[in-house]
Amino acid sequence: MFADFPFLSILTLLPLVGAIVVALIPRQKSELAKTVALGWSLVVLVLSVVMWIAFKTGGDRFQFHESYAWIPSWDARFTFAADGIALVMLMLIAILFPVVILASWHDVEQSKRSAPAYFALLLVFEFTMIGVFAAADVFLFYVFFEVMLIPMYFIIGSFGGQRRQYAAVKFFLYSLVGGLFMLAAVIGLWVVGGNTFDFGKLTEIAGSIDQNTARWLFLGFFVAFAIKAPFFPFHTWLPDAGGAAPAGAAALLVGVMDKVGTFGILRYCLPLFPEASRWFAPAALVLGVIGIIYAALLAVGQNDLKRLVSYTSIAHFGFIGIGIFAFTSQAGTGSVLYMVNHGLATGLLFIVVGMFVARRGSNLISDFGGAGKLVPVLAGVFFFAGLASLALPGTAPFISEFLVLIGTFTVHPAYAVVATGGIILAAAYVLWMVQRTTQGTLNPALTEVPEMRKDITLREKVVVAPLILLIILLGFYPKPVTDVINPAVQATMQDVGVQDPGPTAVVANERVAR
> Which residues make up the interface to other proteins (CB under 8 A)?
70-74, 142-144, 146-147, 149-150, 154, 157-158, 164-165, 168-169, 172-173, 176-177, 180-181, 183-184, 187-188, 190-191
Report the distance separating Cα 354 and Cα 309, nearest Å: 11
Q: C-beta of 149: minimal distance to other proteins in Å?
A: 8
Which residue, 143 or 300, is less far from other proteins as judged by CB?
143
Residue 514, burial from CB neighbour count under 10 angstroms (0-12, 13-18, 19+): exposed
Q: C-beta of 185: minimal distance to other proteins in Å?
A: 10
The verdict on whether omega for the bond into residue 233 sits within 30 degrees of 0, i.e. cis, is yes
DSSP-assigned letters across all residues of 236-268: THHHHHHHHS-HHHHHHIIIIITHHHHHHIIII
The distance of Cα 74 from the centroid of its chain, to the nearest Å, equals: 31
Q: C-beta of 156: minimal distance to other proteins in Å?
A: 10
Q: C-beta of 409: minimal distance to other proteins in Å?
A: 40
Cα distances from 476 to residues 70, 388, 394, 454, 470, in angstroms, run: 45, 13, 6, 33, 10
CB 448 within 8 A of CB 361: no
Which residue, 119 or 181, is less far from other proteins as judged by CB?
181
Q: Which residues contact 334 (CB under 8 A, 6 or more apart)?
A: 323, 399, 400, 401, 402, 403, 404, 405, 407
Q: C-beta of 175: minimal distance to other proteins in Å?
A: 10
Identify the sign of the CA torsion 498, 501, 503, 506.
negative
Which residue, 155 or 285, is less far from other proteins as judged by CB?
155
Which residue, 183 or 364, is less far from other proteins as judged by CB?
183
Report the distance separating Cα 177 and Cα 460, nearest Å: 38
Report the distance separating Cα 436 and Cα 174, nearest Å: 33
CB 292 within 8 A of CB 319: yes
Which residue, 117 or 331, is less far from other proteins as judged by CB?
117
Q: C-beta of 217: minimal distance to other proteins in Å?
A: 11
Which residue, 50 or 180, is less far from other proteins as judged by CB?
180
Q: C-beta of 495: minimal distance to other proteins in Å?
A: 25
Which residue, 168 or 493, is less far from other proteins as judged by CB?
168
Kind plus residue range of the DSSP H or E element containing 330: helix 329-360
Q: Which residues contact 297 (CB under 8 A, 6 or more apart)?
A: 425
CB 399 within 8 A of CB 479: no
Which residue, 3 or 191, is less far from other proteins as judged by CB?
191
Q: C-beta of 510: minimal distance to other proteins in Å?
A: 45
Which residue, 38 or 184, is less far from other proteins as judged by CB?
184
CA angle 260, 266, 269 (to 5 degrees): 100
The verdict on whether omega for the bond into residue 230 sits within 30 degrees of 0, i.e. cis, is yes
Which residue, 182 or 498, is less far from other proteins as judged by CB?
182
Which residue, 73 or 441, is less far from other proteins as judged by CB?
73
Cα distances from 440 to residues 237, 283, 370, 388, 463, in angstroms, run: 33, 43, 5, 22, 27
CB 132 within 8 A of CB 145: yes
Q: Which residues contact 331 (CB under 8 A, 6 or more apart)?
A: 322, 323, 324, 403, 404, 406, 407, 408
In which region does residue 391 sit, left (phi positive, over 0), alpha (psi from -120 to 50) or beta (all else)?
left
Q: C-beta of 147: minimal distance to other proteins in Å?
A: 5
Q: C-beta of 255: minimal distance to other proteins in Å?
A: 24
Q: C-beta of 350: minimal distance to other proteins in Å?
A: 23
CB 88 within 8 A of CB 484: yes
Q: C-beta of 190: minimal distance to other proteins in Å?
A: 6
Q: Which residues contact 283 (CB under 8 A, 6 or more apart)?
A: none
Q: C-beta of 165: minimal distance to other proteins in Å?
A: 5
Which residue, 193 or 332, is less far from other proteins as judged by CB?
193
Which residue, 28 or 165, is less far from other proteins as judged by CB?
165
